[in-house]
Amino acid sequence: MRSTRLSKYCHKFGAEVRRIRNDKGLTLQELAKLSELPEDYVERVENGEASPSHFARCKMSKVLDIDLEPIATKLYEKSGELNG
Look up the CATH number of the domain holding residue 56: 1.10.260.40
Domain extent for 43: 4-79
**pLDDT tens per residue, range 6-48:** 888 899 999 999 999 999 999 999 999 999 999 999 999 999 9
DSSP letter, residue 49: S
Residue 70 main-chain phi, psi, to 5 deg: -60, -35
**Domain presence at residue 29:** yes
Quick check: is 84 in a domain? no
Q: Is residue 21 part of a domain?
A: yes
Sorted by sequence, the CB contacts under 8 Å of residue 70 that are 6+ apart come out as none
Domain count, the chain: 1
Q: Residue 27 falls within a domain, yes or no? A: yes
pLDDT value, residue 81: 54
